[in-house]
Amino acid sequence: MEIFSLLWGTLLLRPYVFVFLAFFLSIAICHWGLARSLLFSVIAYTVAFISEYSSTRNGFPYGFYSYIENTRHQELWISNVPFMDSLSFTFLIYISLTLALVFRSPLKGQGWDIRIDRNAALERSWGTIFLAAFLFMMLDVIIDPVAFLGDRWFLGKIYTYKEAGEYFHIPLTNFAGWFIVGASILLCWTRFDRLLDEKIPLPTRSYFAQAMWGPVLYFGVLAFNLAVTVFIGEYQMALSGLAISSITAGALVFKIRRSKNFT
């Protein structure tokens, strides 16, 4: 029963992670159905855990870092990695994928009711995978610097790098690692997704603002981290993150406004 106690402790320590996770699952199930959503979560978590397990031992792909085990008896850990940390990769890569699909797909709809038709070839294309991995990496450019200062907010000090990094204490290798891992998750996922096409049909129900729920969560994650950055008084970091977020948001607005298929 200890595992259930630790899972409950994880929920109490990291409630915001599970709020984001719940929104992700709701959106993904509408998008892909329950089976695909659960399989995607398992694949994303597995790749993320392997990457973190590797990097804490040999420095690949994020650079050398280690988790501080102050909460080992309060929350669930898998080996030397907190469960919630690798779990967060599942919704972060998913919302990055949904945003990439909006950028690369013809849009249709009216007002806020923005929708896209499923295009399996486009979803599995290298262009979509690499764009989603890039957007995933850009999330981390904002998330990791404030997470590194977790002792100044309710996250707590959870990890440290072997050497000081170039970008607000974070080494540039970390961001390269996020791109590699994001692309790896999606490469694995697209292979499994192709096998499921004939066995498990995708949901056909259309719903309001179908294309935008994932991107809304993407910017919700950014807003949460920027708010924490301001709260702890790291204004230069906040301005840098706001500039990055504004570029992404501006590109999204431009895409919506110029779409010929949008009325």
pLDDT digits (tens, 9 = 90+) for 24-51: 999 999 999 999 999 999 999 999 999 9
Compute how many other C-beta atoms are within 10 angstroms of the C-beta atom of residue 41.
Answer: 19
Q: Is the pLDDT of residue 52 over 60?
A: yes
Helix (H) and strand (E) counts for the chain?
Answer: 9, 6
Which range of residues forms the domain containing residue 77?
Answer: 2-258
Q: Please report whether residue 53 resides in a domain.
A: yes
Total domain count for the chain? 1
Considering only CA atoms, which of 222, 31, 211 is closest in space to residue 111?
211
pLDDT band at 22 (very low <50, low <70, confident <90, very high): very high
pTM of the model: 0.95
Q: Please report whether residue 139 resides in a domain.
A: yes
Q: Please report whether residue 96 resides in a domain.
A: yes
Q: Please report whether residue 236 resides in a domain.
A: yes
Q: Please report whether residue 100 resides in a domain.
A: yes
Q: Please report whether residue 90 resides in a domain.
A: yes
> How confident is the model over 201-259, as pLDDT tens digits?
878 777 889 999 999 999 999 999 999 999 999 999 999 999 999 999 999 999 998 87
Q: Please report whether residue 263 resides in a domain.
A: no
Q: Please report whether residue 48 resides in a domain.
A: yes
